[in-house]
Amino acid sequence: MPVTMLDYGVGNIHSLKKALEAAGAQVEVAAEARDILKATALVLPGVGAFGKVASMIAPIRDELRAKLDGGLPALCVCIGMQILFESSEEGDGRGIGLLPGLVRRLRHERLPHIGWNGVKHGGAALFDGVADGVSFYFVHSFAPSSCGDGVTATADYGGAFAAAVEFKNVWGTQFHPEKSSDAGGLLIRNWVRLAEKT
């Protein structure tokens, strides 16, 4: 399955690309935001800051939202998931706005939240075959609320937060599946399978 992954130009995306290829995807990395509008399946990776990513997608925000709303399959990791929302306390700029609400700073005395944490998912399709409560690997200081529309999984770090979301054919994870051992590999394979069905 051909997949286009946007390179924000601020971090290493090699591990996610490798994990997608191991799951059977053929990954093309796009350095220009406009190139992702031609994607048949899209990955927004988990490196970067909200303001930087918002600025990069600003010229194509409305077109990208229309494509995602229209059924373009996408996997959005960490900052990629946060940019699906309207705005963030982390920085200026508008998100895609596919999901309502604000991305907030985690309410914990030690930030960033780095390491393994249990995820409660209750059987969402992206987690098929993954035990409820299994741990995934997180690196972040901000996250959407656990009670917003589209939230399919939660974790807790100074309070509950959204660990995964779903909107039509768009799936997002606040954690990094490419760094989450067997459970993460299974989740990525599940996404490839789900995307192929669309």
Active site members: 78, 176, 178
Are residues 81 and 118 in contact, defined by beta-carbon separation less than 8 angstroms? no
Rounded CA separation 31/33 (Å): 7
DSSP β-bridge partners for residue 114: 139
DSSP summary character for residue 123: T
Rounded CA separation 59/108 (Å): 35
Per-position DSSP letters for 45-76, written without gaps between them: -S-S-HHHHHHHHGGGHHHHHHHHHTT--EEE
Question: Residue for token digits 């995964």?
Answer: 164
Residue type, 42: L
Rounded CA separation 1/7 (Å): 19
